Amino acid sequence: MLASSIRIQRVSLGRYTTTGSCGLLNVCKKTWYSTKPAFEIKENETVINGKSFDKDEWTNVTPAILAKVNRQLHLQPKNPISIIRQLIESNFTDFKTFNEFSPVVTTKQNFDDLYIPKDHPSRTKSDNYYFNKDTVLRAHTSAHQLQGLASGENKFLISGDVYRRDEIDSSHYPVFHQIEGFFYLDNDLTKLQNELNRVQATETPNIELVDDTVIKPENPVQACHSSEASDLIAAHLKHNINTMIRNLFADEKDLKVRWIDAYFPFTSPSWEVEILYKGEWLEVLGCGVVNQKIMNGAGLDNKIGWAFGMGLERLAMVLFGIPDIRLFWSEDSRFIDQFTPGKINKFVPFSKFPPCIKDISFWLPEGEWHENDFCELIRGEAGDIVENVQLIDDFRHPKNNKRSLCYRINYRSMDRNVTNDEINEIQEKVRRVVQEQFKVELR
Ligand code: DAH
């Protein structure tokens, strides 16, 4: 089923899903923004920002997604994503910032360098946008940890746009933004303790914090670390994260924050942080003590470090009161002119245009069904006018055992009225491509 809760910080790099396949090999010649021709999808190659990648059986990048690559919302001063990024950076004053790494990365950077196993489901085509088997749009800012380490800095932040194929609703979009934090120092108990004392001197508690996590076999201290050193670096991590959250939510009343155990191949122990907002626990970040193999690989054998990765959309939606994730992409002045760099203010909705609702039902052929691929196809055909796709009926015929699905597609524009005729035309196209791509029998 499609989740309705906010789930921007999708920790798909720890989660488990099944493999899927999707071949949206659209041949399309498209340039955009007269000053920056960003991409061209040719028959045998994809060109993006002047670099060319041969296509193969992994290729599944779409024109709709490539058109987002140069938008860089995290660098547009008045965009709430950029405002949040800067507020987070202001909590880490002596950290070096990297905000312009290219989102086009190798699978080595996105997965192998972080010890994500070869058969891990977060590598599948149905979760990612591949140029080819070796090149992908980054699925997380962790893909740049080694670049950060190679810079020689021992404290740094990396922000950027990240890409994951997903469902469609008001809080899911295939492009979102993350900020990664990384800190390390000498693996020496006195130095670690001194550093912890130094940062803890600035404690300003104003939120309810729940942390009853304990070290256990499922979420262990790494064998190469002493528990004293691991505990000290973890306390330093937790202090930094808690302080940042307190500062970001300084004006929000009744904020609750909790730490829970997690799993990532690139940290141990690992945690996630959730905040209670309007009665719902929202996951905002993943973090942990850096896998020592990453440190050693960078020639930093005698150092110990922590890292975190945080989704920016979810935080911005909560803090600015933004109800729909598509709004961040709006170039409508009624949206963007509401915001000022350095300031959090509540978004004032500017008229909501009526939706146009269409259903599509079909019999499935034999084999697996991947909702992400279906949503991706709809997004490719209809674009941002799709607000939401919801499974409303799923049944199996008692006699022939065939499975039938019915999805409700909610079309709505952010900035104008849509006509029924125009949506009928889009819906017809959607029906056609769904039939062609998935070999379903339309009803
Ligand atoms: N990259 C993870 C994700 O997107 C989040 C994360 C978890 C980043 C732990 C980290 C970390 O740096 O240490 O799901």
Cα–ligand 1 centroid distance for 212 (angstroms): 21
| Side-chain half-sphere CA neighbours of 154 within 13 A | 10
DSSP secondary structure string, 258-301?
Answer: EEEEEEETTEEEEEEEEEEETTEEEEEEEEEEEPHHHHHHTT-T
Cα–ligand 1 centroid distance for 226 (angstroms): 23
Query: Which pTM value belongs to this model?
Result: 0.83
How many whole angstroms separate alpha carbon 427 and alpha carbon 410? 11
Q: Report the amino acid identity of residue 209.
A: L
| Ligand 1 pocket residues where CB is under 6 Å | 11, 13, 140, 142, 180, 264, 266-267, 286-288, 307-309
Task: Return the residue whose CA atom lies nearest to atom 3 of ligand 1.
Answer: 11
Residue 404 contacts residue 361 (beta carbons within 8 Å):
yes
For ligand 1, mutation pick of 105, 142, 182, 233 (most atoms within 8 Å of CB): 142
| Confidence category of residue 69, pLDDT binned at 50, 70, 90 | very high
Cα–ligand 1 centroid distance for 124 (angstroms): 18
Task: Return the residue whose CA atom lies nearest to atom 14 of ligand 1.
Answer: 11
Rounded to an integer, the average pLDDT of 277-301 is: 93
12, pLDDT greater than 60: no
5, pLDDT greater than 50: no
Q: Which atom of ligand 1 is nearest to 267's Cα?
A: 13
Q: Using alpha carbons, select from 74, 79, 96, 95 the residue that is nearest to residue 199.
A: 95
- The pLDDT mean for the chain works out to 88
| Mean pLDDT lowest among 54-68, 105-119, 306-320, 347-361 | 347-361
| Mean pLDDT lowest among 247-251, 291-295, 336-340 | 247-251
Residue 166 contacts residue 174 (beta carbons within 8 Å):
yes
416, pLDDT greater than 60: yes
Rounded to an integer, the average pLDDT of 111-127 is: 95
Cα–ligand 1 centroid distance for 305 (angstroms): 14
Residue range 157-167, pLDDT digits in tens: 999 999 999 88
32, pLDDT greater than 70: no
Q: What is the pLDDT of residue 442?
A: 95
How many whole angstroms separate alpha carbon 88 and alpha carbon 247? 9
